């Protein structure tokens, strides 16, 4: 059964960078579109980005376009989120999630499988 594990979070100054990783356990994530979501205190959960199973298609929230890049290495069973030019508003718990085959499925339905989350804090 598919399990997802996030890593790479931490404390970073405004303008800094972090790379988050989403790794599969128990099964492979290579067949699935994988989304990155975040939730800040007092805020609703926000979809940050999504990548198709092959990596050929990606989507980004307007708030992160030009700063974040999603990618995947299916040989390593891992999806990445490179975050550059970080802002305090990026502070949140970041989750990866999957289970469907297309990013369009996550527009109207929540993914079936979620990781435990990794904390990102952007502060001087």
Tens of pLDDT, residue by residue, the chain (124 residues): 999 999 999 999 999 999 999 999 999 999 999 999 999 999 999 999 999 999 999 999 999 999 999 999 999 999 999 999 999 999 999 999 999 999 999 998 899 999 999 999 999 9
Alpha-carbon distance values, 9 to 12, 30, 83, 96, 119 (Å) = 9, 23, 10, 12, 5
């Amino acid at each position: 059964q598919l399990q997802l594990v996030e890593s790479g979070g931490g404390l970073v100054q405004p303008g800094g960078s972090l790379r988050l990783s989403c790794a599969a356990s128990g099964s492979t994530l290579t067949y699935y579109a994988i989304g990155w979501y975040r939730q800040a205190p007092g805020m609703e959960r926000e979809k940050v980005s999504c990548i198709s199973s092959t990596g050929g298609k990606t989507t980004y929230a307007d708030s992160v376009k030009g700063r974040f890049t999603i990618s995947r290495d299916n040989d390593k069973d891992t999806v990445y989120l490179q975050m550059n030019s970080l802002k305090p508003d990026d502070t949140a718990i970041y989750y990866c999630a999957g289970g469907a085959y297309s990013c369009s499925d996550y527009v109207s339905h929540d993914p079936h499988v979620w990781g435990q989350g990794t904390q990102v804090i952007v502060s001087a």
